[in-house]
Amino acid sequence: MEQNIKDYDNNSYTKFMKKAELDKAFHTLEGILTGIGIDNKINDKEIQSLMSWCSSYELYSKIHIIQQITTMIKDFLSDGILDENERQDILWLCKNFRTESNYFDIITAEIQKLQGILTGIMADGIITDEEICKLSEWIGDNEQLCGTYPYDEINGLLTSILIDGKIDSGEKAMLQVFFSEFIDTNSLANFDEDKLNDIKKEITIGGICSVSPNIIVKGSTFCFTGASSKTTRSKLKDLILSLGGIFKNNVTLGTNYLIIGDDGNKCWAFSCYGRKVEQAINMRKDGKKIIIVHENDFWNTIENIQ
């Protein structure tokens, strides 16, 4: 494996594939490799997810680096097994390949990797306790992604699920529903779409509150939805304005925080519903930095300010 990846001629592939697309391909592959190995076991369906990745890029077989890595993957999988050394060799190639492009910043790269990890975890249609715990560790190690979609949502779900030290089948089903919203399930071999649709009839994931977000009041724009257990909407508005913040009745492109009213309802731990929440979710999916926060976190911030 003693190769200098940077020796590859960038001009040899730019006319066939944009650099940004190539970067995304390798970020995703790295994530898949991490996801399928996250529980230290690799089964047949997870191996098929790697073959699906290769199939997705068959059109770019003239690109030398794509050809090399797909050939490597197929060679490794020719015996139907992917051992840890082989997985690490493919990861090495992913991590050492650079296009010299500044198109993607570290956040974009890591989010693409997260997408790949979720694809790897979902590859066999089963989410295990160990995969959930390992994913939680990865989330904890990548706090630089706070404020981005779907990092906050996954962090919120995992925190709620793991808080009691037990993981039940309903919580795993909830993760399946949410993960399927973020990954391309068509890339998963033998994925049971009908089974997922049946689960979706029972479980609906809406907006999920961020976990202990860093809230800056002065100069930030806030919107509120739901009913507060502590104050009225009018008094909340006056408080935010007195601290140098901005209050809007509706979610806009300039909204920084959408506060979810608690009103004693513990369902917020998993999902929050409503028109404003839906707007915020769609904005987050489009890359806008609006943060969905539970009002308890807002009040904790206020206590530290006053």
Same domain, 189 and 235: no
| Three-state DSSP class for residue 247 | strand
- The rounded mean pLDDT for the chain is 84
Contact call for residues 301 and 276 (beta carbons, < 8 A): no
- The predicted structure's pLDDT at residue 14: 41
* Tens digits of residue pLDDT in 214-265: 999 999 999 998 888 889 999 999 999 999 999 999 999 999 999 988 765 5
Report the side by side order of strands in the sheet with 246-247. 246-247, 221-225, 257-260, 291-294
Would you say residue 60 has pLDDT above 90?
no
Same domain, 194 and 243: no
Residue 234 sits in a domain of what CATH number? 3.40.50.10190
Same domain, 184 and 249: no
Same domain, 256 and 292: yes
- The predicted structure's pLDDT at residue 137: 95
Residues shown for the chain = 306
Is residue 190 domain-resident? yes
Angle among Cα 40, 142, 150 to the nearest 5 degrees reads: 95
Q: Is 209 exposed, middle or buried (0-12, 13-18, 19+ CB in 10 A)?
A: buried
Same domain, 238 and 266: yes
Same domain, 117 and 258: no
Cα Rg, the chain, nearest whole Å: 22
- The predicted structure's pLDDT at residue 19: 74
| Total domain count, the chain | 2
- The predicted structure's pLDDT at residue 240: 96
Domain limits at 66? 5-202
Euclidean distance between CA atoms 39 and 87, whole angstroms = 13
Is residue 300 domain-resident? yes
Question: Which of the two residues, 286 and 265, has the higher pLDDT score?
Answer: 286
Is residue 260 domain-resident? yes
| Three-state DSSP class for residue 286 | coil
Same domain, 92 and 189: yes
Same domain, 238 and 197: no
Same domain, 184 and 94: yes
Q: How confident is the model at residue 8 (pLDDT cuts 50, 70, 90)?
A: very low
The angle that helices 84-96 and 19-36 make with each other, rounded to 10 degrees, is 150
Is residue 210 domain-resident? no
pTM over 0.85: no
Would you say residue 111 has pLDDT above 50?
yes
Is residue 18 domain-resident? yes
Same domain, 35 and 179: yes
Domain edge (last residue) among 202, 235, 260: 202
Q: Please give the share of the chain, as a percent, with pLDDT higher than 90.
A: 37
- The predicted structure's pLDDT at residue 245: 96
Is residue 114 domain-resident? yes
Same domain, 180 and 231: no
Is residue 172 domain-resident? yes
Same domain, 228 and 142: no
Is residue 216 domain-resident? no
